[in-house]
Structure 1
Amino acid sequence: MSDGFSLSGVFPASLTMFDEAGRLDEPASRRHLESLVDGGAHGLVVAGTSGEFVAMSVDEKRRLVAAAVAAAGGRVPVVAGTGTASTAETVELTRAAADEGAAAVLVILPYYMRPHRDEVLAHLRAVGAASPVPVLLYNNPANSGTTELDAVDVGMLYREGVVHGVKSTFPTVHQVAEVIDETGPDFAVFYGGFMAPLSGLTEGAHGWISGVLNVALAEALALYGAVRAGDLETARRWAAVIRQYRYLYTRRPLGPVGDLALYRAMLEIRGQHGGHCRAPLLPLTAQQRAALEELMASTPVLRGSGAGAVSASR
């Protein structure tokens, strides 16, 4: 990592656009990424959970990173998801992402095989030693099925020069402040969920990474700007707005639906390209789509009306 490394702000964990046959649609992915940058995103995260990285090949991930770097055009940094269950493949993807111009990589805890803590640490040390760019730890034990790393572990890896930031994805947010206590001002701490962004940011997170930002970018920028300005009253109002997006998933007004299918359908209803998920993920049914259209028609924020009230700073 070079001296002065710093990442902060609102980073959408972007959708990857696939066509109806499940093929990677690079032009559509680039257009979507460009729209996020044009909308004020402070950076882009590609090939993460919301980008369906587990369903993509090494070559597809590399092509996606190249498309993201082209879309960003030097305006914002691109963070590439490169973590897999294999240390060797993670190193390969990390070097490839750096070659394509990624500013940093996001490395998920090694998953499925349930490696114990020492194995997780060894994996990250190997990746960090081989990485040409800064490494952000994707601390998401629920999805990876692996031993979580606590704040003391993260602080140790930071002092060793292994990791330079973290996406903290836990059901609670106290980890944000605890990691800040264990690291330094050059360590980027991102709140990584979608349940409590206001809490995460006011606890000191330098930014927010989430898939919901594909559809709630304007509102997230307003929330981030209000927190940065110390305007808690305004921040609370924007947090209440953002909860309306969360409720579509947590309260299930449409029945059982995936969050990525929701985001894609919302983009389409707004007149944008939503693309398709890869199987086994399913799109909304016709009935669910009709119900979502009704909800969006009756709920102004879900139509994307927050764009005119953004107050964000870079």
Structure 2
Amino acid sequence: MQLSGIITALATPFTLEGAVDFEAWSRLIAQQLEGGVHGIVVAGSTGEANALDDGEYDALLQAAVRQVAGRVPVLAGTGTSNTAKTIALTRRAAQLGADAALVVTPPYVRPTQDGLIAHFRTVADQGGLPVVLYNVPGRTGCDMQPATVAGLASHPNIIAIKEAVDGEARMQTLLALRSPQFAVLSGDDPTASRAILAGAAGLVSVGSNAAPRAFRRLFDLAHDGRAADAQAQDGRMRGLHAFLAAEPNPIPVKALLAEFGYGHGLRLPLLPLSAGPRAGLAAIVAAVRDLEAA
């Protein structure tokens, strides 16, 4: 499997009563497919994976696999703080029909770099799915270094990395590891255009939940090497990038999705968008409508 393009890290919509809103889930997936995204992630950090029980996780993944019907890859978030649990969840995702596993560096436990190599190799050997490495130290307290990625990139069942560190030098180092079997994906919306112009295969995006067409356009321009046009498109999206960074993900994107009719609220300990960013929500809704219509 070769991953590329815009892969949306889907938010999980809830009803006013706090249950998973499967009707909104189906509409959100349909919107993504119509918007031209190249893949979706179910139950990643944007999807509040840690707030889902086992039955909800299974039902969300099954529903996504059924609706997508092979048109784009479906990635399942399966990373935990324990290798054996990660393997078990990856195997379950495989049984439910996922095409690949998005496996974050183990949160909280802070393994060594050698520990990360052992963890990911074991998951790739035993999990039953192609593995996408996911490095997001701002969330996990664990930063997987490029040299560690180099030690994993040749594994036949490790197919990509989602790199969420905002650093041009870091991205350039990772891009040197690209091969037909191993892709480098940005995990940072605001710098994705720069990364794709430099050779990244695509973006695992938060903002494409609300603006799939705009992000697909950004990818197409950057992938085609149309630097000036890609930078102009990115400039039109700066307000959206800033809004989505106003509070921890997925608080802002879920507030935005609610305005478009895709679910309500979050699960504790996450709280709704605070008054400051909410004051700009109407302007962002209007900007997203313009971006999607362009």
Q: TM-score, normalised by structure 1?
A: 0.87
Q: Which residue of 2 aligns with 1:169?
A: 164
1:6-45 aligned at under 5 Å gives the runs 6-45=2-41
Match of 2:258 among 256, 261, 268: 268
1:58–1:93 CA contact under 8 A, matched in 2: no
Question: In the alignment, is residue 52 of structure 1 matched against residue 61 of structure 2?
Answer: no
Match of 1:278 among 264, 267, 290: 267
2:160–2:183 CA contact under 8 A, matched in 1: yes
Q: Please tell me the residue identity of whatever aligns with 2:208.
A: L
User: For structure 1, which runs of at least 5 residues remain unmatched after alignment?
Assistant: 310-314
Deviation of the 1:126 alpha carbon:
1.4
Tell me, in whole angstroms, the C-alpha distance in 2 between the residues paired with 1:99 and 1:157: 25
* Two-structure CA RMSD over aligned residues (Å): 2.0
1:139–1:167 CA contact under 8 A, matched in 2: yes
Q: Please tell me the residue identity of whatever aligns with 2:33.
A: V
Q: Which residue of 1 aligns with 2:69?
A: 73
1:192–1:210 CA contact under 8 A, matched in 2: yes
Q: Which residue of 2 aligns with 1:100?
A: 96
1:27–1:234 CA distance, 2 compared to 1 (3 A): same
1:124–1:162 CA contact under 8 A, matched in 2: no
1:207–1:287 CA distance, 2 compared to 1 (3 A): closer
1:280-295 aligned at under 5 Å gives the runs 280-284=269-273, 289=278, 291-293=280-282, 295=283
1:243–1:114 CA distance, 2 compared to 1 (3 A): same
Question: How many residues get paired?
Answer: 294
2:221–2:227 CA contact under 8 A, matched in 1: yes
Tell me, in whole angstroms, the C-alpha distance in 2 between the residues paired with 1:138 and 1:25: 27
1:199–1:291 CA distance, 2 compared to 1 (3 A): closer
Q: Please tell me the residue identity of whatever aligns with 1:160.
A: H
Q: Which residue of 1 aligns with 2:287?
A: 301
Tell me, in whole angstroms, the C-alpha distance in 2 between the residues paired with 1:190 and 1:307: 23
Aligned to 2:125, the other structure's residue is in SS state helix
1:267–1:274 CA contact under 8 A, matched in 2: yes
Question: In the alignment, is residue 64 of structure 1 matched against residue 53 of structure 2?
Answer: no
Aligned to 2:184, the other structure's residue is in SS state strand
Aligned to 2:114, the other structure's residue is in SS state helix
Q: Which residue of 1 aligns with 2:182?
A: 187
Q: Deviations over 1:128-175 (max 9, x none)?
A: 1112221000011221112x2222221221223352110001021333
Question: In the alignment, is residue 160 of structure 1 matched against residue 150 of structure 2?
Answer: no
1:177–1:205 CA contact under 8 A, matched in 2: no
Aligned to 1:157, the other structure's residue is in SS state coil
Q: Deviations over 1:54-81 (max 9, x none)?
A: 2223332222211111221221110111
1:161–1:186 CA distance, 2 compared to 1 (3 A): closer
Deviation of the 1:221 alpha carbon:
0.9
Tell me, in whole angstroms, the C-alpha distance in 1 between the residues paired with 2:274 and 2:173: 42
Tell me, in whole angstroms, the C-alpha distance in 1 between the residues paired with 2:110 and 2:269: 23
Match of 1:128 among 124, 128, 149: 124
1:149–1:290 CA distance, 2 compared to 1 (3 A): closer
Aligned to 2:91, the other structure's residue is in SS state helix
Q: Please tell me the residue identity of whatever aligns with 1:305.
A: D
Deviation of the 1:183 alpha carbon:
3.9
Question: In the alignment, is residue 217 of structure 1 matched against residue 193 of structure 2?
Answer: no
1:291–1:9 CA distance, 2 compared to 1 (3 A): closer
1:290–1:63 CA distance, 2 compared to 1 (3 A): same
**Which runs of at least 4 in structure 1 moved beyond 4 Å after TM superposition?**
285-291
Q: Which residue of 2 aligns with 1:137?
A: 133
Tell me, in whole angstroms, the C-alpha distance in 2 between the residues paired with 1:90 and 1:229: 37
Aligned to 1:97, the other structure's residue is in SS state helix
Sequence identity of aligned pairs in percent?
33
Query: Does 177-186 or 87-96 show the bigger shift?
Result: 177-186
1:109–1:144 CA contact under 8 A, matched in 2: yes
Q: Please tell me the residue identity of whatever aligns with 1:246.
A: H
Tell me, in whole angstroms, the C-alpha distance in 1 between the residues paired with 2:160 and 2:67: 24
1:275–1:71 CA distance, 2 compared to 1 (3 A): farther
Q: Which residue of 2 aligns with 1:150?
A: 145
Match of 1:247 among 212, 226, 242: 242
